[in-house]
A and B are shown apart, each in its own frame.
Chain A
Amino acid sequence: DAGVTQSPTHLIKTRGQQVTLRCSPISGHKSVSWYQQVLGQGPQFIFQYYEKEERGRGNFPDRFSARQFPNYSSELNVNALLLGDSALYLCASSFPGVGETQYFGPGTRLLVL
């Protein structure tokens, strides 16, 4: 079975631009989470969506938004990009329940110039 897939793999943007990142969860998984991983740091939680509803949000500005589609895939949007938004953006999917495991995709590496 295919794991979590993300697109694009790499992206270069300039300050002030907007970016959309995409994620397809593992088949059967209904929950998608987004994390930001800055170089040399651990991933930081941004959002989680379950059944198209936002279930949790981390400490990120309103420039970050996300949504989940009926097929459970998800998009992460970042507006007015800053240099500090340069990072690896990770998507994780899970099947909600006790002890749910987060399965991570390979990430999208975003570079803001």
Chain B
Amino acid sequence: QQQVKQSPQSLIVQKGGISIINCAYENTAFDYFPWYQQFPGKGPALLIAIRPDVSEKKEGRFTISFNKSAKQFSLHIMDSQPGDSATYFCAASYGGSNYKLTFGKGTLLTVNP
């Protein structure tokens, strides 16, 4: 049972463009929604995270939008750069068990120069 569905599977964006990755979840108990970035040969690294008491969180070029009623959240990367080319994972957890993350399947982002 896949509790976090992520789309698209892959994404190609031109330098300077906006990259948008979407996730939908099923478990209404989820209360922590992080996004991770993974480069080849490396472990995932936390980019940005949100809790359901806010609808948007911005950190630099990265923004999470959260829609609790639709059970959806998305990552927006503004002014995308070739260095942003990586695999991005959304994840969710609940009940203070932030260690037990449920991940989406990932999105391979390619930013062309």
- List chain A positions with a Cβ less than 8 A from chain B: 4, 31, 33, 35, 40-45, 48, 55-56, 58, 90, 92, 94, 96, 98-107
Contacts and interface: CB of A to CB of B under 8 A. Distances in A.
Nearest to A9: B41
Nearest to B36: A104
Contacts of A31: 99
B102 to A, nearest CB: 7
Q: How large is the interface on B (under 10, 10 to 19, 20 to 34, 35 or more residues)?
A: 20 to 34
B46 A102 contact: yes
Given A42-B6, A56-B100, 10 more contacts: A42-B89, A42-B104, A43-B103, A48-B99, A48-B100, A55-B99, A56-B97, A90-B43, A102-B98, A104-B36
A107 B38 CA distance: 12
Interface string B6-36: 1000000000000000000000000010101
Interface in B81-104: 89, 91, 96-104
B100 A45 contact: yes
A100 B96 CA distance: 9
Given A41-B106, A42-B91, A42-B105, A100 B99 contact: yes
Nearest to A55: B99
Q: Which are the 4 A-B pairs with shortest beta-carbon distances? A: A42-B103, A104-B43, A48-B99, A33-B99
B96 A43 contact: no
Nearest to B45: A104
Interface in B56-113: 89, 91, 96-106
A48 B96 CA distance: 13
14 contacts: A4-B43, A33-B100, A40-B105, A42-B6, A45-B102, A48-B100, A56-B97, A90-B44, A92-B99, A96-B99, A100-B98, A102-B99, A104-B36, A106-B42
A45 B91 CA distance: 11
Nearest to B51: A99
B24 to A, nearest CB: 14
